[in-house]
Amino acid sequence: MHKKITLIFILSAILIISVIPAAALDSNWHQFQKDEINIGVTYSPAPIEDVELAWSAFTYESGNGIDVTPIIADDIVYIYAANGSIWAFNKTNGDLMWKNETTGGNLQTSTPAYGDGKIVVAARSGDLFAFNATTGSELWNASVTDKNFECPVTYFDHKIYIGEGLGGGVTTKYYYCYCDNGTQLWSYPTENTSGFLWCGASVVGDYLVFATHEGKLISLYRENGTLTDEVDLTSELSFPRPDLGKVRASVTYHNGYIYTTSEKGQPLGYVFKVGFDNGTFVDDGWSTANGFSTSTPVVYDGKVYVGQGEHGFTGNLTCLNDSTGEIIWSYFINAGVKSSPAISIQDGKPYIYFTSAKTNGSLYCLNSDGMLVWDYNPPDSGYILQGASISDGFVYFGTGGGYVYCLNESTKIPDLIPTLLTPTTLCVNRSNEITVTVKNEGGSADSFNVSLKHNETLIGINTINMLKAGEEKITGFSWTPTSTGTFNLTAAVDPENTIEESNETNNVKFVNVTVGIALPDLIPTLLMPPPKIYSNHSNIISATVNNNGFDYAIAFNVSFGADGTVADTASVSGLTAGISTTVSFTWTPLEPGSYELCVLADCDDEIVEFNETNNERCENVIVETPKPDLTIQKIALKTAGYVGEENRLGVKVANIGLLNASLFNITLEADGMLLGEATVPLLDAGNIMELEFVWIPTGTGEHELTATADSKEEVEESNETNNTLTRTSVIVTMNDWTQFHYDDTNIGFSPSIAPNTNETLWISDNIGVVDSTSMVIADGRVFVNCDNFLKAIDKYTGEVLWNTSVATTTTEGSWLSPSYHDGKVFISGLVVYCINATDGSIIWEYTLPTSACNGGTTIADGRVFASDGGGLHYYCLDEETGEELWNFTVSGRAQGTAAYTDGKVYFTSYLYGIGGYVYCVDSDTGTKMWSTNTTFEACGSPAISNGIMYATTYNFYGNGDIYALNATNGSILWNKTIQRTDSTPTIAYGNVYVCGGCKGSSDLQTYCFNATTGELIWNTTASDKIGAWTSSVAVADGKVFVGRISGYGMSFDYAGTYALNAFTGNVIWSYPEGGASPAVADGMVFTIGGGRVYAFIIYDSGDANHDGKVNTRDASTVLQMAVGSIPPNDEADVNRDSKVTSLDALMIMQVMVDRS
């Protein structure tokens, strides 16, 4: 790098002048940001007034749909989908021209490139492909790397440039140059780098320039890959940024300078401009703090345009001064702008196009002043990651829903309609302001007039300069009528017919208005006593007074009386004509009985009114004697509800009466048998009390609970019919798996026995179970998240029992799981739902401010704990009603599933690129008890056992950790390095089990540590590839159940289930499908993969037909085996004599008789 001491070479200037306009003037968009320097600017037109959908086409939905920018060559637009398929569409009408396949997957972030009749595609797998651009036939492919590709392909002069992605972690990564015939020409190594995520290169004359993840700019001779210069943006410039974080953007070149951006979490990131002269970086330019950015800057006419903001946060499209780096303007949107802007120059003015990085995002168009021209929200709700491309009046972009959209200028003609004229009550001999609302239900309209007439007399004419499609504007007129009465006013839009419209018959609106004398008229329109009025008690009486006149009423009083005696007075400071006000009075009647209540407006007769006879309103009421009123509000099962175990029941009794209640009893019965009785010495009026009872249920299933207040009828109440509440409670076994990771502590360990073989009882159809989710099992059912549906499956057959529509679709491929408690299933997403577990009916729902991500619900102590992802909150809801009890704000994203124990609830959070936090919160009040910072992002869920809280971290660019914290004060007891993970730890046998790793970016491993000391007991090897970052292991019966992920990187699907010895880590059995966060219940293992649920089982002796039960059908099956009709199996040999005979069938029948 050299200090700048001379002007940029004249030769370089000539190069820029000659190359850039030529590249920008055509209608092609051959690669990421249009061309080999990532110019991002075109003189090809795009929609700048109204926009409409020209066409859309569907490619591929499952996974991430489309995550790269479309490219355009001649009359074809090319789309690379997340599953590795490449599509070619006619750019004008969307007809499919051809389709082909590369290496599969579920996320592709490398934008292809067009060059010399070829489409070059870099698959995430590390393979390069070339296709005939016209026919789609594959020309060649090359396996380049065992890492991956995640940055755009750069194509120039028959050469292909591409860098290795983040796969394999921090190591030596290569930037490759391939000839367009598939031959490698050179590779350039960069040591100790994470790789090149979105870090595409720019071809500048004889040089190739790109940025590393860690913040270096590198320049190579593009012919041979020899280094010409490099500069560290953190330290080697006069405008360094030591805290730049990471560079995850391509570089662009403009007029002797290189531009790029960086990010270090949402709050921090920079835009860089660095001089570049003949292969050498020059210490000239600037760096500007602009917050998180993965957007490649675009430079035009002295301004730099760039996106800002991470997904899950707000963002901006920012315009900076190219000379100084100062921010000129920022356009705010309620989403991050991860995309790179595309600019169309029309009539010498730039129009900026960009997308919002969110689910159900939009495409925006701004003018050069940063004002919104239009925005377009596509009909699918897919996440939008990358930006747009422009060609011949069209703009193209794709969504995570798998759709590509083509927009053009609207061809609709205007349709101008006067929709509203107001007010309709006016004053005589006074200037009245009248407004007319005009809506355009067609295409954009230029300047037009709006007139207002009384009969044929013109009141006024106004001009509206422009009205866009769907837009409304209000225009105002003044009119002074000279007489009272009813008059017709006519509002006419475009009275001169200068605008051609789709409907010329709806431009006129006729409205009758009433003109009156300018006097007020005060009328009590409503008298509102409470439902019950009590003697010797302060009762609030309300009344509404309306000014039905034509003039303002100055201050006046309103009186309230009972049986002709004034009891209270309220003052009104003034009341505008046509407006009402509500006043309140206090009345304390001394005796019960019947009363006439009256309210009188202007009781002092101070206001001259249009009508002096309508100021009073009266009603008759009954006054009662106050008494207590005891009612049972809730019976809550506050523990897990296990059969044969001690459970706590909370009974809430309220005194909704007006007198205190002294000395009464509360009884609680279960199935008609008295569980307990408690005495309440005093319950003040308006207060609530909770009493706890102990219940040890002796059987599973439904039980009727009945609580009665004042069971001995010792208290005289105002209502003697509401003392009893009856509800049904559902009891399960400890062998059920009722919450995410087994129970409310997220311990992940089940006391159930578990299969020693990989025999399946059933495999469900592909019912759309969300990848990486877990399930809950209770009361003979399996409950699974099927993305916008919660489904209940029969535990023994896999049959779908019910299917309830829920708004669980969330951002970023969320894998949140349901939970079960007391006959109800809970699931969150956009909404938290409480659902009847028997029939799937919705009991209540609570709408979250923002969507949950990964973190499901936890049920404990009569409460539901939920999170809202990027909303930065955890919520505590009442289990019975869904009412919010409190919420807690965390630092960063809230996407864990809470863990609960002993009146405390534990949360996790993280700030991308900064680190994470673990919290302990009082479950009654939501008050923080402690918090502890983690070095890397605490994205997963905590688990608690024996006073220790365990949590993991995900390092986006290296190894993560597992922490053991003191659950009382948050102090770190130990922490160990593991593969990056969101996995929730499992605690069993004095050990803690966890897995991690992101396929393609790091190794996949499963670990066992001593839970007290953190000593490593065993781990699987990297070559085993067992475990993954989205899998939480289950432990039961001396076995660890874990999965193998199927795809790369951010893949969430699984294709491999493993049972490991919990003490050695050795594989006991495996199965090639399923694997997502297993659950163990009642001797069965359940897991998910490919949209299906897999059920593994231990077959009992006598279960000859393998349906998970022993009954008379098995005896029949054994008889068929005995005579040789069907093959025998081990389960049919009941007496273990190595034969299947009629004696075995007889023994099964005897068992059935004994059971009956």
Give the tens place of pLDDT for each residue, 866-875: 999 888 999 9
Q: Give the pLDDT mean for 414-428.
A: 91
* Residue 69 falls inside a structural domain: yes
Highest mean pLDDT among 530-539, 564-573, 911-920, 1143-1152: 564-573
Q: Do 73 and 30 meet the contact criterion of CB atoms below 8 Å apart?
A: yes
What pLDDT, on a 0 to 100 scale, did the predictor assign at position 1151? Answer: 64
What pLDDT, on a 0 to 100 scale, did the predictor assign at position 50? Answer: 81
* Residue 39 falls inside a structural domain: yes
Residue 24 has pLDDT above 80, yes or no: no
What pLDDT, on a 0 to 100 scale, did the predictor assign at position 18? Answer: 37
What pLDDT, on a 0 to 100 scale, did the predictor assign at position 780? Answer: 93
What pLDDT, on a 0 to 100 scale, did the predictor assign at position 1026? Answer: 95
What pLDDT, on a 0 to 100 scale, did the predictor assign at position 1126? Answer: 84
Q: What is the dihedral of CA 860, 864, 866, 872, to 10 degrees?
A: -100
Give the chain's mean pLDDT. Answer: 91
Q: Give the pLDDT mean for 1094-1105.
A: 82
Q: Which three-class secondary structure state does DSSP give residue 1098?
A: coil
Share of the chain above pLDDT 70, in %: 96
Q: Based on the domain organization, do 957 and 1083 belong to the same domain?
A: yes
Share of the chain above pLDDT 90, in %: 78
What pLDDT, on a 0 to 100 scale, did the predictor assign at position 1153? Answer: 65
Q: Based on the domain organization, do 602 and 666 belong to the same domain?
A: no
Q: Based on the domain organization, do 836 and 945 belong to the same domain?
A: yes
* Residue 704 falls inside a structural domain: yes
Q: Give the pLDDT mean for 17-31.
A: 61
Strands across the sheet containing 1084-1089:
760-763, 1092-1097, 1084-1089, 1076-1081
Give the tens place of pLDDT for each residue, 149-163: 999 999 999 999 999
Residue 441 has pLDDT above 80, yes or no: yes
Least confident interval from 17-21, 542-546, 730-734, 763-767 = 17-21
Under the banding of pLDDT at 50, 70 and 90, the label for residue 715 is very high
Q: Give the pLDDT mean for 217-235.
A: 97
Structure-block tokens of residue 186:
């050179």
Q: Give the pLDDT mean for 558-587.
A: 96
Q: Based on the domain organization, do 391 and 288 belong to the same domain?
A: yes
Q: How far is CA 874 from CA 379, 387, 849, in A?
A: 31, 33, 11
Residue 1046 has pLDDT above 70, yes or no: yes
Least confident interval from 347-351, 424-428, 717-721, 728-732 = 424-428
* Residue 736 falls inside a structural domain: no
Give the tens place of pLDDT for each residue, 242-287: 999 999 999 999 999 999 999 987 778 999 999 999 999 999 999 9
Under the banding of pLDDT at 50, 70 and 90, the label for residue 293 is very high
Domain end point (choices 592, 624, 656): 624
CATH number for 1084: 2.130.10.10
What pLDDT, on a 0 to 100 scale, did the predictor assign at position 14? Answer: 34
* Residue 299 falls inside a structural domain: yes
* Residue 1062 falls inside a structural domain: yes
Q: Based on the domain organization, do 551 and 472 belong to the same domain?
A: no
Give the tens place of pLDDT for each residue, 80-96: 998 899 999 999 999 99
What pLDDT, on a 0 to 100 scale, did the predictor assign at position 427? Answer: 84
Q: Is the dihedral of CA 374, 378, 383, 385 positive or negative?
A: negative
Beta bridge mates, 994: 1007
Domain end point (choices 624, 655, 690): 624
Least confident interval from 62-76, 367-381, 591-605 = 62-76
Beta bridge mates, 216: 232
Residue 678 has pLDDT above 70, yes or no: yes
What pLDDT, on a 0 to 100 scale, did the predictor assign at position 1118? Answer: 81
Q: Based on the domain organization, do 688 and 781 belong to the same domain?
A: no
Q: Give the pLDDT mean for 773-793.
A: 93
Under the banding of pLDDT at 50, 70 and 90, the label for residue 1005 is very high
What pLDDT, on a 0 to 100 scale, did the predictor assign at position 271? Answer: 97
Q: Rg of the Cα trace of the chain?
A: 36
Q: Based on the domain organization, do 183 and 224 belong to the same domain?
A: yes
Whole-model pTM?
0.65
Q: Based on the domain organization, do 597 and 681 belong to the same domain?
A: no
Q: Give the pLDDT mean for 1124-1147.
A: 79
Domain end point (choices 409, 439, 471): 409
Burial of 555 (0-12, 13-18, 19+ CB in 10 A): exposed
Q: Based on the domain organization, do 351 and 438 belong to the same domain?
A: no
1025 sits in the region (left: phi over 0; alpha: psi -120 to 50; else beta) called left
- Residue 325's contacts (CB-CB under 8 Å, 6 or more residues apart) are 271, 273, 285, 286, 287, 288, 304
Spatial separation of the C-alpha atoms in residues 554 and 572, rounded to whole Å: 8
Give the tens place of pLDDT for each residue, 1062-1081: 999 999 999 999 999 999 99
Amino acid letter for position 816: L
Q: Which domain holds residue 618?
A: 522-624
Amino acid letter for position 151: C
What pLDDT, on a 0 to 100 scale, did the predictor assign at position 1061? Answer: 97
Give the tens place of pLDDT for each residue, 548-562: 888 899 999 999 999
Spatial separation of the C-alpha atoms in residues 906 and 930, rounded to whole Å: 10
Q: Give the pLDDT mean for 835-852.
A: 93
Residue 705 has pLDDT above 90, yes or no: yes
* Residue 573 falls inside a structural domain: yes
CATH number for 690: 2.60.40.10
Q: Based on the domain organization, do 46 and 140 belong to the same domain?
A: yes
Q: How many domains does the chain have?
A: 6
Least confident interval from 41-45, 388-392, 1105-1109 = 1105-1109
Q: Based on the domain organization, do 372 and 435 belong to the same domain?
A: no
What pLDDT, on a 0 to 100 scale, did the predictor assign at position 1127? Answer: 84
- Residue 1015's contacts (CB-CB under 8 Å, 6 or more residues apart) are 1009
Q: Based on the domain organization, do 1058 and 1131 belong to the same domain?
A: no
* Residue 733 falls inside a structural domain: no
What pLDDT, on a 0 to 100 scale, did the predictor assign at position 787? Answer: 84
Give the tens place of pLDDT for each residue, 178-203: 999 999 999 999 999 989 999 999 99
Q: Give the pLDDT mean for 554-572.
A: 96
